[in-house]
Amino acid sequence: MSDDRLRMTPGPTAVPAAVRDRMAEPTPNPDVEPEFFDFYRKLTDDLGTIYGDDDIVILGGEGILGLEAAVASLVEPGDRVLCIANGPYGEGFADFVESYDGEAVVCDSPWRDPIDLAAVESHLTDGSFDVATMVHCETPTGVLNDLEPVLDLLEDHGVISVVDAVSSLGGTAVPTDRIDVCLGASQKCFSAPPGLTVASVSDRAWAKIESFETRGFYTDLEPWRDAADEEWFPYTHLSANLYGLGAAIDLLLEEGLETVFERHERAARRCRERAADLGLSVYPDGARSSPTVTALEVPGRAEELQRTLADDHGVVLATGLGDLAADVLRVGHMGHNARVDRVERTMDALEAVLEE
């Protein structure tokens, strides 16, 4: 089926032909064919090049599975968890904590503002916490948070860090070497189809994970620690998706991480230049926006513009979420879509719609 739509959403992103071709290869039985474990070990090693030295876990499930699995595996009933938030996904960690009978303490800031470091420090000084959660790139707002000062505070207080880097990992630098559990997903900057969660897990996090009995099974990270070495998966893995992710990571590493990051920066810069030419403001501002997504303020017009762009120009964008659904239009220049020519086509279409 022919489909020439340009999907510039902040995930799922366009999937390159090499990834689609790899997924169409004959499907092995991942539980009994030794060659598959060789492939799986190579894939985790390649992901380790992006992440750093921590153990890599790949789960069969969309990125939200990783957020829940991190909480399920690290939070015992009664544990206090500091949920550091300046956006909907940061706030959403609290729901997972409470569903596993942890005590969620939300340290939130307005969505337009940076993380409130003074408030974080006050919480850590006044109370004892086992785990802290936060988001690197808040996809619904396009905000890229500076995590280094927060991680400094958490290290000072001996608190395990969990970071949602789903929409930044592979598109911009993430301080993975300082994060205990860093979560990513296949369908964002890696430009593979939805269906896989990737995570790095530190020794400190493993010690906490192994210290108690997790109540779930599918959300338990512990069985995955030695899966590759023992050649045993806790459940039948998504072999075609893994092949696709492997091909996507091959493309990324062949291009080179720094080159990929520079490509994302160029695409983001051009998107915001064109937006300024059209009289559009970036939410919250260009200085704090991620290289992977730009949120444009279009008060009351987001859904109308989204429909017209798709129907008349074949360009698919995303609106904001929650309170921003009607007022923000989001351009995802991430992964395979982080290219200036694709940004130009997108903004040409937006310009034409705004002039109608």
pLDDT digits (tens, 9 = 90+) for 63-85: 999 999 999 999 999 999 999 99
Give the span between the Cα atoms of 182 and 237, in whole angstroms.
21
On average, the pLDDT of the chain sits at: 96
Q: b/e string for 143-179 if b means 16 or more Cβ within 10 A?
A: bbbebeebbebbeebebbbbbbbbbbbbbbebbbebb
Residue 250 has pLDDT above 80, yes or no: yes
pLDDT, residue 185, reads 98
**Side chain identity, residue 68:** E
Question: What band does 263 get if pLDDT is binned at 50, 70 and 90?
Answer: very high
pTM confidence score: 0.96
pLDDT score at 53: 78
Can you read off the two tokens belonging to residue 98?
Answer: 């409470």
Query: Which pair of tokens denotes residue 231?
Result: 């050649």
- Distance between CA atoms of 233 and 215, rounded to whole angstroms? 19
DSSP one-letter code for 11: S
Give the Cα separation of 183 and 77 in Å (integer).
22
State how far the Cα of 217 lies from the Cα of 296, in Å rounded to an integer.
40
